[in-house]
Amino acid sequence: MKSDDSAKGKDKNTFLTDISEIRRRARQHIEEGAVTDSYKGDRKTVLRVLNEALATEIVCVLRYKRHHYMAKGIHSQAVAQEFLEHAAEEQEHADQIAERITQLDGEPNFNPEGLLTRSHSEYVEGESLIDMIKEDLVAERIAIESYSEIIRYLADNDPTSRRMMEEILAKEEEHAEDMKTLLETIAREERHEDRAKAS
Protein backbone atom coordinates (compact mmCIF):
# COMPACT_ATOMS: atom_id res chain seq x y z
CA MET A 1 0.00 0.00 0.00
CA LYS A 2 2.72 2.33 1.09
CA SER A 3 4.82 1.58 -1.94
CA ASP A 4 1.76 2.16 -4.15
CA ASP A 5 1.29 5.59 -2.59
CA SER A 6 4.88 6.54 -3.09
CA ALA A 7 4.71 5.29 -6.65
CA LYS A 8 1.65 7.46 -7.22
CA GLY A 9 3.39 10.39 -5.57
CA LYS A 10 6.35 9.90 -7.83
CA ASP A 11 4.13 9.79 -10.91
CA LYS A 12 2.37 12.91 -9.76
CA ASN A 13 5.68 14.71 -9.31
CA THR A 14 6.91 13.63 -12.70
CA PHE A 15 3.65 14.80 -14.19
CA LEU A 16 3.93 18.18 -12.44
CA THR A 17 7.49 18.57 -13.61
CA ASP A 18 6.34 17.89 -17.14
CA ILE A 19 3.54 20.43 -16.87
CA SER A 20 5.85 23.16 -15.59
CA GLU A 21 8.36 22.29 -18.31
CA ILE A 22 5.60 22.56 -20.89
CA ARG A 23 4.53 25.92 -19.42
CA ARG A 24 8.12 27.14 -19.41
CA ARG A 25 8.54 26.20 -23.05
CA ALA A 26 5.18 27.76 -23.95
CA ARG A 27 6.26 31.06 -22.34
CA GLN A 28 9.65 30.91 -23.99
CA HIS A 29 8.17 30.42 -27.45
CA ILE A 30 5.12 32.58 -26.98
CA GLU A 31 6.09 34.76 -29.92
CA GLU A 32 6.17 31.76 -32.23
CA GLY A 33 2.40 31.29 -32.21
CA ALA A 34 1.28 27.74 -33.07
CA VAL A 35 4.77 26.65 -34.09
CA THR A 36 6.70 25.46 -31.03
CA ASP A 37 9.46 22.95 -30.32
CA SER A 38 6.79 20.27 -30.01
CA TYR A 39 5.69 20.91 -33.60
CA LYS A 40 6.95 17.77 -35.25
CA GLY A 41 5.89 18.47 -38.80
CA ASP A 42 8.36 19.29 -41.53
CA ARG A 43 7.06 22.85 -41.70
CA LYS A 44 8.22 23.53 -45.25
CA THR A 45 6.55 20.41 -46.62
CA VAL A 46 3.39 20.92 -44.56
CA LEU A 47 3.10 24.50 -45.87
CA ARG A 48 3.63 23.38 -49.47
CA VAL A 49 1.04 20.63 -49.13
CA LEU A 50 -1.47 23.02 -47.49
CA ASN A 51 -0.90 25.60 -50.24
CA GLU A 52 -1.65 22.91 -52.82
CA ALA A 53 -4.88 22.11 -50.98
CA LEU A 54 -5.66 25.85 -50.94
CA ALA A 55 -5.11 26.06 -54.72
CA THR A 56 -7.34 22.99 -55.18
CA GLU A 57 -10.13 24.68 -53.22
CA ILE A 58 -9.82 27.97 -55.14
CA VAL A 59 -10.03 26.10 -58.47
CA CYS A 60 -13.11 24.27 -57.16
CA VAL A 61 -14.75 27.59 -56.18
CA LEU A 62 -14.11 28.98 -59.69
CA ARG A 63 -15.36 25.85 -61.47
CA TYR A 64 -18.56 25.60 -59.41
CA LYS A 65 -19.21 29.34 -59.91
CA ARG A 66 -18.80 29.01 -63.67
CA HIS A 67 -21.14 25.98 -63.66
CA HIS A 68 -23.67 27.83 -61.51
CA TYR A 69 -23.94 30.70 -63.98
CA MET A 70 -23.81 28.48 -67.08
CA ALA A 71 -26.35 25.86 -65.98
CA LYS A 72 -29.10 25.79 -68.59
CA GLY A 73 -31.93 23.50 -69.59
CA ILE A 74 -34.93 21.81 -68.10
CA HIS A 75 -33.08 20.37 -65.06
CA SER A 76 -30.88 23.38 -64.48
CA GLN A 77 -32.54 25.18 -61.58
CA ALA A 78 -31.95 22.66 -58.79
CA VAL A 79 -28.53 21.79 -60.19
CA ALA A 80 -27.47 25.45 -60.41
CA GLN A 81 -28.45 25.86 -56.74
CA GLU A 82 -26.37 22.81 -55.80
CA PHE A 83 -23.36 24.25 -57.70
CA LEU A 84 -23.71 27.51 -55.77
CA GLU A 85 -23.84 25.73 -52.41
CA HIS A 86 -20.73 23.75 -53.28
CA ALA A 87 -18.91 26.92 -54.38
CA ALA A 88 -19.67 28.48 -50.97
CA GLU A 89 -18.42 25.39 -49.12
CA GLU A 90 -15.21 25.21 -51.17
CA GLN A 91 -14.67 28.89 -50.27
CA GLU A 92 -15.02 28.00 -46.58
CA HIS A 93 -12.43 25.25 -47.02
CA ALA A 94 -10.06 27.71 -48.73
CA ASP A 95 -10.46 30.11 -45.77
CA GLN A 96 -9.85 27.38 -43.18
CA ILE A 97 -6.68 26.25 -44.96
CA ALA A 98 -5.39 29.82 -45.43
CA GLU A 99 -5.97 30.47 -41.71
CA ARG A 100 -4.04 27.32 -40.73
CA ILE A 101 -1.15 28.32 -43.03
CA THR A 102 -0.80 31.64 -41.19
CA GLN A 103 -0.93 29.82 -37.82
CA LEU A 104 2.10 27.87 -39.02
CA ASP A 105 3.86 31.16 -39.83
CA GLY A 106 3.47 30.55 -43.56
CA GLU A 107 1.91 32.64 -46.29
CA PRO A 108 -1.24 31.51 -48.09
CA ASN A 109 -0.63 31.58 -51.84
CA PHE A 110 -3.51 33.33 -53.62
CA ASN A 111 -1.45 34.17 -56.69
CA PRO A 112 -3.50 33.44 -59.84
CA GLU A 113 -0.24 32.69 -61.61
CA GLY A 114 0.50 28.98 -61.34
CA LEU A 115 -2.83 28.32 -59.62
CA LEU A 116 -3.65 25.35 -61.87
CA THR A 117 -0.18 23.92 -61.46
CA ARG A 118 -0.51 24.02 -57.67
CA SER A 119 -4.06 22.69 -57.71
CA HIS A 120 -4.73 18.95 -57.73
CA SER A 121 -8.15 19.30 -59.33
CA GLU A 122 -8.76 20.74 -62.79
CA TYR A 123 -10.84 23.58 -64.16
CA VAL A 124 -13.06 22.10 -66.87
CA GLU A 125 -15.97 24.22 -68.10
CA GLY A 126 -18.13 21.47 -69.64
CA GLU A 127 -20.63 21.99 -72.46
CA SER A 128 -23.86 20.47 -71.19
CA LEU A 129 -25.28 20.26 -67.69
CA ILE A 130 -24.38 16.55 -67.61
CA ASP A 131 -20.80 17.37 -68.66
CA MET A 132 -20.51 19.93 -65.86
CA ILE A 133 -21.75 17.50 -63.23
CA LYS A 134 -19.39 14.80 -64.53
CA GLU A 135 -16.43 17.20 -64.38
CA ASP A 136 -17.35 18.18 -60.82
CA LEU A 137 -17.60 14.54 -59.82
CA VAL A 138 -14.14 13.88 -61.29
CA ALA A 139 -12.71 16.93 -59.49
CA GLU A 140 -14.24 15.82 -56.17
CA ARG A 141 -12.78 12.34 -56.62
CA ILE A 142 -9.34 13.83 -57.27
CA ALA A 143 -9.69 15.99 -54.13
CA ILE A 144 -10.74 12.92 -52.10
CA GLU A 145 -7.69 10.96 -53.32
CA SER A 146 -5.17 13.71 -52.74
CA TYR A 147 -6.60 14.85 -49.38
CA SER A 148 -6.52 11.24 -48.16
CA GLU A 149 -2.85 11.19 -49.06
CA ILE A 150 -2.24 14.53 -47.30
CA ILE A 151 -3.97 13.18 -44.17
CA ARG A 152 -1.73 10.10 -44.21
CA TYR A 153 1.30 12.36 -44.56
CA LEU A 154 0.26 14.66 -41.69
CA ALA A 155 -0.57 11.67 -39.45
CA ASP A 156 0.90 12.46 -36.02
CA ASN A 157 3.26 15.15 -37.32
CA ASP A 158 0.61 17.85 -37.30
CA PRO A 159 -2.64 16.60 -35.71
CA THR A 160 -4.38 19.99 -36.00
CA SER A 161 -3.83 20.27 -39.75
CA ARG A 162 -4.73 16.60 -40.08
CA ARG A 163 -8.06 17.06 -38.26
CA MET A 164 -8.90 20.08 -40.43
CA MET A 165 -8.15 18.09 -43.60
CA GLU A 166 -10.25 15.18 -42.31
CA GLU A 167 -13.24 17.50 -41.86
CA ILE A 168 -12.73 18.91 -45.36
CA LEU A 169 -12.37 15.39 -46.79
CA ALA A 170 -15.72 14.38 -45.26
CA LYS A 171 -17.31 17.36 -47.02
CA GLU A 172 -15.72 16.44 -50.36
CA GLU A 173 -17.16 12.94 -50.01
CA GLU A 174 -20.61 14.51 -49.55
CA HIS A 175 -20.00 16.68 -52.63
CA ALA A 176 -19.08 13.64 -54.72
CA GLU A 177 -22.19 11.85 -53.49
CA ASP A 178 -24.34 14.91 -54.40
CA MET A 179 -22.92 14.94 -57.94
CA LYS A 180 -23.44 11.20 -58.35
CA THR A 181 -27.07 11.51 -57.21
CA LEU A 182 -27.67 14.42 -59.61
CA LEU A 183 -26.26 12.41 -62.53
CA GLU A 184 -28.51 9.46 -61.72
CA THR A 185 -31.59 11.67 -61.26
CA ILE A 186 -31.09 13.51 -64.54
CA ALA A 187 -30.40 10.28 -66.45
CA ARG A 188 -33.61 8.77 -65.03
CA GLU A 189 -35.68 11.88 -65.86
CA GLU A 190 -34.30 11.99 -69.39
CA ARG A 191 -35.28 8.35 -69.92
CA HIS A 192 -38.82 9.22 -68.77
CA GLU A 193 -38.94 12.20 -71.15
CA ASP A 194 -37.75 10.06 -74.06
CA ARG A 195 -40.39 7.46 -73.31
CA ALA A 196 -43.09 10.17 -73.08
CA LYS A 197 -41.99 11.59 -76.45
CA ALA A 198 -42.00 8.15 -78.06
CA SER A 199 -45.52 7.28 -76.89
Helix, strand, coil share of the chain (percent; to 5): 80, 0, 20
Other C-beta atoms closer than 10 Å to the C-beta of 60 total 29
Piece in contact with Fe ion (CB under 5 A), picked from 6-14, 76-84, 90-98, 116-124: 90-98
CB of 91 vs Fe ion, minimal distance in Å: 9
CB of 186 vs Fe ion, minimal distance in Å: 19
Pick one of 67, 100, 118, 175: the residue that binds Fe ion (CB under 5 A): 175
What kind and span of H or E run contains 24? helix 2-28
Asked if 68 is part of the footprint of Fe ion (rule: CB under 5 A), the reply reads no
Other C-beta atoms closer than 10 Å to the C-beta of 126 total 17
Asked if 90 is part of the footprint of Fe ion (rule: CB under 5 A), the reply reads yes
Contact 29, 94 (CB under 8 A): no
42 or 149, CB closer to Fe ion? 149
CA 26, 28, 31, 36 dihedral sign is negative
Pick one of 82, 158, 172, 178: the residue that binds Fe ion (CB under 5 A): 172
Q: Which positions from 9 through 48 interact with Fe ion, judged by CB under 5 A?
A: none
Q: Which positions from 117 through 156 interact with Fe ion, judged by CB under 5 A?
A: 140
CB of 185 vs Fe ion, minimal distance in Å: 19
Pick one of 67, 93, 100, 162: the residue that binds Fe ion (CB under 5 A): 93
User: How many angstroms separate the CA atoms of 139 and 63, rounded?
Assistant: 10
35 or 116, CB closer to Fe ion? 116
User: How many angstroms separate the CA atoms of 97 and 164, rounded?
Assistant: 8
Sites of contact with Fe ion (CB under 5 A): 57, 90, 93, 140, 172, 175
